[in-house]
Structure 1
Amino acid sequence: MMENQKMDLILQKLGGIEGGLASVREDVRSLQGDMQTLKGDVKTLKEDVQTLKEDVQTLKDRVTNIEITLENETNRNIQLIAEGHLNLARKLDEALKELQPNIMYHLKVNHLDGEVTKMKRMLNMA
């Protein structure tokens, strides 16, 4: 082979390599663009996660406040109301016990009053 032919062959091979390198360069540019997109997506995700963390912390604070309110106010108020109802129930039972004999006396008086009325009618007729 002559030297010119060798040079032509080398140039042909270099041309093929350059074409391959151009393709690799295009792939690298495409990958760089994809990396930029990925970085943007990751940044957005980080911001979203931070927002979620803040929201969760806010919810935790609200739940804690609700629990404190339930424990310190609502539960105590319910207990006070329940104790009041127990006292009312006891007072009602006591009042009913006192009324029971009075009712019996009223029934007896009503019966006797009816008997007296009957006797008066009989005496007036006689």
Structure 2
Amino acid sequence: MLEQKDLEMIAEIVAKVVEPVKKDVKEIQLTLENETNRNIKIVAEGHLDLSRKLDEALKIERQEEKS
């Protein structure tokens, strides 16, 4: 059976392994927030602009067909 000091040593080892992983996860989260989400927003805005232009072009085309 494990003694208390053995359990404490295991806890220390696990803490040493977990802390860098937590740091890496935090960095990944920040990258997602600051870079990836921003880039997705830029692409979405561009898509919206293209969609509006297409709608305008189709509207003009329909008006010309009616004339």
| TM interval, short-chain normalised | 0.7 to 0.9
TM, length-normalised to structure 1: 0.47
Q: What is the aligned residue count?
A: 67
Could you say which residue in structure 2 is the equivalent of 1:93? 55
**Alpha-carbon deviations, 1:5-41, whole Å to 9, x = none?**
xxxxxxxxxxxxxxxxxxxxxxxxxxxxxxxx8xx72
Q: Which runs of 5+ in 1 are unaligned?
A: 1-36, 106-126
> Are 2:10 and 1:48 aligned?
yes
Moved over 4 A (4+): none
User: Which structure has the larger Rg?
Assistant: 1
Among 71, 82, 86, the residue aligned to 2:44: 82
Q: Which runs of 5+ in 2 are unaligned?
A: none
Could you say which residue in structure 2 is the equivalent of 1:68? 30
AA aligned opposite 2:7? L
Q: CA RMSD in A?
A: 2.0
Query: Deviation of residue 56 (structure 1)?
Result: 2.3
Query: Deviation of residue 62 (structure 1)?
Result: 1.6
TM, length-normalised to structure 2: 0.79
Matches of 1:58 and 1:41, distance apart in 2: 27
